[in-house]
Amino acid sequence: MTERLRIENLYKVFSDKPAPALAMLKAGRRKSDVLEALGQVVGLDDVSLGVPSGAIYMIMGLSGSGKSTLARCINRLNEPSAGRILLDGDDICALDEPGLREVRRSRISMVFQHFALLPNRRVIENVEFGLKLRGMPAAERRRRAEEVLSIVGLARWAYHMPQELSGGMRQRVGLARALATEADVLIMDEAFSALDPLIRTEMQDELLRLQKTLNKTILFITHDFQEALRLGTRIAIMADGRLVREGTPQNIVMEPGSDYVAAFTRDVDRARLFDARSVMTALAPLWQGQGKVVMASNAGAAGFLLDAQARVLGTLDGAQVASACRGEAVPQANGQFTSVSASMRLIDVAGRCGGEHPIGVTDDDGTLIGVLDAKQVLARIGAGIGAGAQHV
Ligand SMILES: Nc1ncnc2c1ncn2[C@@H]1O[C@H](COP(=O)(O)OP(=O)(O)OP(=O)(O)O)[C@@H](O)[C@H]1O
Ligand SMILES: [Mg+2]
| Nearest ligand 1 atom to alpha carbon 241 | 14
- Cβ 223 vs Cβ 66: under 8 Å: no
**102 and 16 inside one domain:** yes
- Has residue 56 been placed in a domain? yes
Query: Cα(138) to centroid of ligand 1, in Å?
Result: 39
Query: Cα(41) to centroid of ligand 1, in Å?
Result: 9
- Has residue 156 been placed in a domain? no
pLDDT at 171: 84
Domain residue limits at 340: 276-380
Atom 31 of ligand 1, residue of closest alpha carbon: 64
Q: Which of 210, 233, 265 is the last residue of a domain?
A: 265
Q: Give the contacts of 233 (CB within 8 A, at least 6 positions apart).
A: 52, 55, 56, 57, 248
Q: Select from 10, 16, 36, 69 the residue to mutate for testing ligand 1; criterion: most ligand atoms less than 8 Å from CB.
A: 69
Atom 14 of ligand 1, residue of closest alpha carbon: 66
pLDDT of 391 above 50: no
Query: Cα(254) to centroid of ligand 2, in Å?
Result: 27
- Cβ 367 vs Cβ 277: under 8 Å: no
- DSSP states of 122-181 as a string? -HHHHHHHHHHHTT--HHHHHHHHHHHHHHTT-GGGTTS-GGGS-HHHHHHHHHHHHHHT
Give the separation between CA 229 and CA 251, rounded to whole angstroms.
11
Q: Is 240 helix (H, G, I), strand (E, B) or coil?
A: coil
**280 and 247 inside one domain:** no
pLDDT band at 388, cuts 50/70/90?
very low
pLDDT band at 387, cuts 50/70/90?
very low
Query: Cα(195) to centroid of ligand 1, in Å?
Result: 21
**Residue 44 identity (one-letter amino acid):** L
Q: How far is CA 146 from the centre of its chain?
A: 29
Atom 29 of ligand 1, residue of closest alpha carbon: 64
pLDDT at 384: 56
Ligand 1 contacts CB of residue 344 (under 6 A)? no
| Nearest ligand 1 atom to alpha carbon 70 | 18
Digit-coded pLDDT (tens) for 37-89:
999 999 999 999 999 999 999 999 999 999 999 999 998 999 999 999 999 99
Ligand nearest to C-alpha 43: 1
**243 and 347 inside one domain:** no
Ligand 1 contacts CB of residue 63 (under 6 A)? yes
Digit-coded pLDDT (tens) for 253-297:
989 999 999 999 988 888 888 999 999 999 999 999 888 999 999
Give the separation between CA 124 and CA 173, rounded to whole angstroms.
9
pLDDT at 227: 94
- Has residue 312 been placed in a domain? yes
Interval 360-379 mean pLDDT: 90
Ligand 1 contacts CB of residue 41 (under 6 A)? yes
Ligand 1 contacts CB of residue 174 (under 6 A)? no
Digit-coded pLDDT (tens) for 92-145:
999 999 999 889 888 998 887 666 788 899 999 999 988 888 888 999 999 999
**Residue 182 identity (one-letter amino acid):** E
Atom 27 of ligand 1, residue of closest alpha carbon: 63
Query: Cα(204) to centroid of ligand 2, in Å?
Result: 19
| Nearest ligand 1 atom to alpha carbon 12 | 12
pLDDT of 385 above 60: no
pLDDT at 92: 95
- Has residue 97 been placed in a domain? yes
Q: Which of 265, 294, 326 is the last residue of a domain?
A: 265
Q: Which of 265, 299, 329 is the last residue of a domain?
A: 265
Query: Cα(115) to centroid of ligand 2, in Å?
Result: 13
Query: Cα(391) to centroid of ligand 1, in Å?
Result: 28
**214 and 256 inside one domain:** yes
- Has residue 389 been placed in a domain? no
**258 and 300 inside one domain:** no
Number of structural domains (the chain) is 2
**236 and 289 inside one domain:** no
Pairing of strands 338-341, 359-362: parallel
**347 and 228 inside one domain:** no
pLDDT of 241 above 90: yes
Interval 210-238 mean pLDDT: 93
